[in-house]
Amino acid sequence: MVPRLGNTQVLIYLLCITAIGVLSRYSWDMSLHYLGPENSGLCACHKCLTESDPWFRELINSSPTPFLSRNYTSSEDDFIWWKHIQNERRNFDSYKTTVDRLFQIFPPIPDVVGPSPDRCRTCAVVGNSGNLKGSHYGPLIDSHDIIIRMNHGRTKGYEADVGNKTTHHVMYPESAINLDNTTHLVLFPFKIDDLLWLLKSFDPGENSANKARRANKDLVMILNPAFMKYVHEMWLGKKGNYPSTGFLTLALSTQMCDEVNVFGFGADRDGNWNHYFEILKNKQLRTGPHAGMHEHEVILKLKEQQKIGVFKGW
């Protein structure tokens, strides 16, 4: 027979249960507080990009400011490295004057938000490889917070495989397309003429009523040449003449997001380096001045180390 408790006993019993609950919660909170200093500044993702890996954290933290701003431009040493990419003949003063002109038009400080323990920001870096054909990655790509496409990458007619959302579009003059009013134009400049092209593209005097608008000028971001040099030296060990647009975009995404997934990089299943939106005509096409195979090996290594996700499409 179960004894019947009096009112006083019931009250004491409830107080004890409450006290146990409070102490348990206190112990849990204290354990989180104890872990806090080690994880300070990390994200709210299940696994943050730089979590539990001092080497990779140091690699990310050693990056120069990824975008130019009114308050920051490249050093002369960085400029000297950068000018050899396209045999730029103008001097550092010409470069600085051009950059000063840029920030009379474009946002003085780029729209980049740092990491926070209260937020998990995910990036989809979408390349243009033919291995995206038939992948059905569209919904997965569109589920990311930041979706970066590059050069002639397009979505219309390919939504099932590549998605239809774009938050940032990487380009340079030779690969430029017009963007909608909500997509960031991310310029990768390889020479001073690229910076001058950007100025001309947004000069009201150059844009007639019949000329298509390039992008929203308040969403323009300009990659720092020092960042290109950093990726070439620190990520690629100076292999190749300079990093490819795709690899630069991948490295850039690690500065913008807490979790990075890569789509449409590398060759297709037959080993061809082609684009999902084109009919393959030249099966001898490779990666030009870039260390394409080495870049691919670095990407696979990052995948093996669970730093990034790589979706190869087949």
Q: What is the pLDDT of residue 73?
A: 87
Q: Identify the CATH number of the domain defined by range 54-311.
A: 3.90.1480.20
Which two tokens mark 288? 């030009």
- Taking only the tens place, the pLDDT of each residue in 89-139 is 999 999 999 999 999 999 988 877 777 888 899 999 999 988 899 999 999
| pLDDT at 272 > cutoff 80 | no
In the residue annotation, 290 being an active-site residue is answered as yes
Confidence of residue 18 (pLDDT cuts 50, 70, 90): very low
**Which of 95, 242, 275, 276 is the catalytic position?**
242
Residue 185 clears pLDDT 90, i.e. is over it: yes
Residue 152: which of 254, 275, 290 has the closest Cα?
Answer: 275
Domain boundary assignment for the chain: 54-311
Whole-angstrom Cα distance, residue 278 to residue 151?
13
* Model confidence band, residue 273 (pLDDT cutoffs 50, 70, 90): low
DSSP annotation string for 154-178: --TT-HHHH-S--SEEEE-GGG---
For 29-65, the pLDDT digits (tens) are: 322 222 333 344 578 898 888 877 898 999 999 999 9
Closest CA to 129 of 137, 121, 139: 137
pTM: 0.81
Residue 218 has pLDDT above 90, yes or no: yes
pLDDT over 70 (residue 233): yes
Selecting among 144, 184, 232, 290, the annotated active-site residue is: 290
The pLDDT value recorded for residue 291 is: 76
pLDDT tens across 142-160, in order? 999 999 999 999 999 999 9
Q: Is 242 a catalytic residue?
A: yes
Consecutive H or E run containing 99:
helix 92-102
Q: What was the pLDDT predicted at 2?
A: 41
Indicate the residue type of 17. I
